[in-house]
Amino acid sequence: MTKNIFVVGLNELNAERLKRLRGVEDVTFHPLLTPAQVSDTQDFDIPAMLEEAEARLDAFDGSIDAIVGYIDFPVSTMLPILCKKYGTPQASLESLLKCEHKYWSRKVMAEVIPDHIPKFTAFDPFDDDALSKIGEADLRFPFFVKPIKSSGSRLGFRIDSPEDFDYAIEKLRAEIRSIGEPFDHVLSQADIPDDIKAVEGHYCMAEQVIGGRQCTVEGYVHNGEVFPYGTVDSIRYPQVLSFFYYLYPSTLPKRVQDTMNEITRTIMAHIGYDNAGFNIEYYWDEVSNKIWLLEINTRIAQSHCDLFEMVDGVSHQQVTVDLGLGRKPDMPSGEGPENVAAEFFYRVFFNDATVARAPSRAEVEVAAEQVEGTRISSYVTRGSKLSDLPEQDAYSFAVASIWMGASKQSKLLWNYEQVMKKLNYEFTDIVE
């Protein structure tokens, strides 16, 4: 009997990935809301999106067997609401918010893994005394600030001086309500403690600077049991905060990965998160042998899908689909054609610019042909402004992503250089 799975924000690329999963011969995937509505925008009208999604589901003449997604806000926060209404498996809204509301998340972490989190406090960016209140919370320069709810690295800043803080506050005040207000709507649907209610959607976090070798542990919870299944290294450009590439499998020592997996099991079980995928970002400070938990994301990392397919034989969307259907994920290990795989980010470090030239579709295809199995996504077109790109960090713009595999890491880096020689981007109206 055919099973019907609705995928929020389904695009062409992921529709193809889903067809290659295990055990989907009897599954039909249906799009629910468009990528333009949920990811290619910074305007999130969650009540309207929920209303449209529910109308589509109500009108469907057939069984609704699963409702899934692989995108951060707003999709991740809408899924528990939709799944609860239509009776399909998913983590509860409250357990999800204990991960996604960064202040609530840190409070919960402090209960069971206090040695693995930095000093932190919440603050209102519209409070003119915010900096002094951060100081009263025993946070000194340098520290990081970020929204209590964001996606990617958007609106995250390292603060080394009062001038840095003023710059960050200007940016935060201008842009934070675009996520803060829709996040408030989600918070209003949940049963939240009073001290957390006081930290509204437009609030921010200040946190002690932590660092080291960064990675992401991908995992899921099935019927209360936590399963970490893969660790991906996050490697930055030299001297900056922007990511250069994600590498799978991780090169961290096994003992470090084992400890991270144990921390992962402890915190996810304590939160009560269940029947859904997640990933947790960590740092390992090699000098002090200290493991820091950076944040929890309530979804698989879409950027890692091709990496798992190249190395393990199937995209880890397998986890999302199997859990959505209420079954334990059939996620293989080491069955892919490559030993290592990466997603590289080609970035430019401008405040803004206009794209004077971008590679044509034919040029992108020629570049991809340099190394078998390579996939390239170019995010800009001639005449577009970099500041219009969604989901960017505070220091650079990713204009293309390149996914590729190889027999070893050094070969992977050499292959990337060969591909990039065929991609030509030019910019004008550059704001340094």
Q: Identify the pLDDT of residue 5.
A: 98
Mean pLDDT score of the chain: 96
pLDDT at residue 133 tops 90: yes
Is the same domain home to 199 and 236?
no
Is the same domain home to 52 and 201?
no
pLDDT at residue 394 tops 90: no
Amino acid at residue number 261: N
Is the same domain home to 193 and 292?
no
Q: Identify the pLDDT of residue 152.
A: 66
**Is position 296 within any domain?**
yes
Is the same domain home to 257 and 358?
yes
The answer to whether the CB of 260 falls within 8 A of the CB of 282 is yes
**Is position 102 within any domain?**
no
**Is position 123 within any domain?**
yes
Average of pLDDT values for 109-119? 98
Q: Identify the pLDDT of residue 107.
A: 98
What is the domain-level CATH number for residue 25?
3.40.50
pLDDT, tens digit, 9 for 90 and up, residues 267-304: 999 999 999 999 999 999 999 999 999 999 999 999 99
Is the same domain home to 236 and 357?
yes
Radius of gyration of the chain (CA): 21
Is the same domain home to 361 and 292?
yes
pLDDT, tens digit, 9 for 90 and up, residues 221-254: 999 999 999 999 999 998 888 999 999 999 999 9
**Is position 196 within any domain?**
yes
Is the same domain home to 260 and 387?
yes
CB atoms closer than 10 angstroms to residue 409 = 16
Q: Identify the pLDDT of residue 154.
A: 81
pLDDT at residue 51 tops 70: yes
Number of helices (H) and strands (E) in the chain: give both, helices first.
Answer: 15, 17
Q: Identify the pLDDT of residue 257.
A: 98
pLDDT at residue 41 tops 80: no
CA distance 133 to 32: 44
CB atoms closer than 10 angstroms to residue 407 = 10
**Is position 14 within any domain?**
yes
Confidence class for position 39, pLDDT limits 50, 70, 90? confident
Range in 151-165, 290-304, 307-321 with the lowest mean pLDDT: 151-165
Is the same domain home to 334 and 422?
yes
Residues spanned by the domain of 171: 119-208
**Is position 59 within any domain?**
yes
What is the domain-level CATH number for residue 335?
3.30.470.20
Which among 24, 59, 93 is the end of a domain? 93
Q: Identify the pLDDT of residue 240.
A: 84
Is the same domain home to 329 and 423?
yes
Which among 93, 127, 155 is the end of a domain? 93
Is the same domain home to 42 and 123?
no
Domain tally for the chain?
3
Is the same domain home to 280 and 425?
yes
Q: Identify the pLDDT of residue 115.
A: 98
**Is position 330 within any domain?**
yes
Closest Cα partner for 232 from 162, 308, 285? 308
* Residue 99 C-alpha from the chain's centroid: 12
Closest Cα partner for 266 from 301, 304, 217, 319? 217
Is the same domain home to 288 and 410?
yes
With vertex at residue 279, the alpha carbon angle to CA 25 and CA 122, rounded to the nearest 5 degrees, is 140
What is the domain-level CATH number for residue 192?
3.30.1490.20
Q: Identify the pLDDT of residue 266.
A: 98
CA distance 339 to 174: 45
Closest Cα partner for 73 from 224, 157, 198, 181? 181
Enter the tokens of residue 166: 């003023």
- Residues of the chain with pLDDT > 70: what percent? 100
**Is position 359 within any domain?**
yes
pLDDT, tens digit, 9 for 90 and up, residues 194-215: 999 999 999 999 999 999 999 9
Q: Identify the pLDDT of residue 414.
A: 96
Which among 77, 93, 109 is the end of a domain? 93
Q: Identify the pLDDT of residue 347.
A: 96
CA distance 206 to 120: 6
pLDDT at residue 184 tops 80: yes
